Amino acid sequence: MDYRFTPAGEEFRNEFKSWLEKTFPANEPPPKLDTVEDRINAYRSYQKKLSDGGYAGIRYPRELGGRGGTLMEEIIVTEELNPYAIAHAANVNSIGFGMGLPTIFAVGTEEQKKDLIPKLLDGTHIWCQAFSEPNSGSDAASISTRAEKKDGYYLVNGQKVWITSAQYADMCMLLVRTNPDVPKHKGLSYLLMDMKLPGVEVRPIKQISEESEFNEIFIDNVKVPENMLVGAENEGWGIAITTLMFERIMGDLSMAKMFIQEFYQLLEMAREMKRGGQPVLNDYMFRQKLAQIYIELMVLKYNGYRSAGKAMKGGMPGPEGSIGKLLWSETHKKMTELAMEIQGMANQLMKGSPLAVEDGYWQYLFLTSKSGTIAAGTSEILKNIIGERVLGLPKDMARALFAKKER
């Protein structure tokens, strides 16, 4: 397998790099990214610049505000943008870009595409995705938020939880139950809900990291216009799966890039740390653990290229995408645990403490990395998918073993 980019790809990379250097000069101070408002403002201005430069929505048609380019060009843009601090502001709308955009492009109506895609590409819109509910997470098809068809609109009532970015999102990909009288996967529909509609209330949830990344959404008699239904009524489950598959594909590559960069920062931190007057890295155990993390990050990167290669040949992201998600979330958790181990007693000191290592940067990552193994499919669910749908193992091992004994 050849992982090098083609000469045309490398030419595109050089062209994009020189545009980047001109548009975001290295001698300009980076934007403030301290508060949520800072990040939203930075995101909107950064996305507008990409859009004006012709680098937003690389694979989307020009008439919708995209570039009409290739997946390879999109990967190159993702790779080259990553070291720029400003690119981290893009996380503000990673759901709109990674999930909303490809879903609407694949299955939206012409009217939805024309109206919504340009607003996502030029930074006007930020989206969130609301599937999970208090009694429905891993088993997303068991949701109970209800939508009743009325004259020209759906009347929606229910509650969603853990919804990332909902506190500042303009639009929401909403999974609702339109028919409660059929098996659970069959009575679902997929709506796009304007977050400013009367009856939508968002309450942020405070996390262990002190941030409020996700939220509860209370939906009380909200009227969603019928032209905001995506796909056919009661066929929302297939569309929800499409959205979740798209979440995987670019996710692995951008996570690989981000965590490899973070790994080199960890290495720098480790070189500075001492234990009993001796450099921490004199201890072979730490060297081995660092090497293991590096190996896993390389596996993540090349597995990401493999999935992207498949997609370039026209394949849809499949269940093997679960390998990448499992790997990035578990490796990142291990990496931040190792950062804590390397700091020894100093790992108790958080941001704001004068003696905290790197002002508590690694403590913050240690706390937030846990959520990666829950969001977008827990590690246990991903292992089930890999077992059943990649390796072809029986669905329920316990039942299969029991049946064998009885025979």
Ligand X SMILES: Cc1cc2nc3c(=O)[nH]c(=O)nc-3n(C[C@H](O)[C@H](O)[C@H](O)COP(=O)(O)OP(=O)(O)OC[C@H]3O[C@@H](n4cnc5c(N)ncnc54)[C@H](O)[C@@H]3O)c2cc1C
Chain residues that interact with ligand X, rule: CB under 6 A: 128-132, 137-138, 162-164, 213-214, 371, 374-375, 378, 380-381, 384
Per the document, the length of the chain is: 407
Closest Cα partner for 363 from 349, 352, 375, 374?
349
Residue nearer to ligand X on the CB measure, 208 or 298: 208
Q: Are 250 and 78 in contact (CB under 8 A)?
A: yes
Residue partners of 281: CB distance under 8 A and separation at least 6: 270, 271, 273, 287
**What is the dihedral sign for C-alpha 275, 280, 284, 288?**
positive
In 57-137, which ranges are E strands?
A: 127-130
Question: CB of 2: closest distance to ligand X in angstroms?
Answer: 36
Residue nearer to ligand X on the CB measure, 109 or 207: 207
Phi then psi for residue 164, to 5 deg, are -65, 135
Q: Which residues pair with 219 in a beta bridge?
A: 158, 200
**CA 371/CA 212 separation, integer angstroms:** 13
Residue nearer to ligand X on the CB measure, 56 or 244: 244
Question: CB of 241: closest distance to ligand X in angstroms?
Answer: 13
Question: CB of 204: closest distance to ligand X in angstroms?
Answer: 13
Biggest alpha carbon–alpha carbon distance for the chain: 75
Active site residue 247: yes
In 100-227, which ranges are E strands?
A: 127-130, 146-149, 153-164, 171-177, 188-194, 200-204, 214-225
Closest Cα partner for 345 from 286, 274, 279, 293?
274
State how beta strands 188-194 and 146-149 pair.
unpaired
Question: CB of 339: closest distance to ligand X in angstroms?
Answer: 20
Q: Are 200 and 219 in contact (CB under 8 A)?
A: yes
Question: Looking at 247, 268, 320, 341, which residue is catalytic?
Answer: 247
Q: Are 362 and 350 in contact (CB under 8 A)?
A: no
**CA 255/CA 381 separation, integer angstroms:** 20
Closest Cα partner for 69 from 20, 3, 8, 126?
8
Residue nearer to ligand X on the CB measure, 128 or 239: 128
Question: CB of 381: closest distance to ligand X in angstroms?
Answer: 5
Question: CB of 399: closest distance to ligand X in angstroms?
Answer: 13
Q: Which residue is nearest to ligand X (CB)?
A: 137
User: What is the set of active-site residues?
Assistant: 247
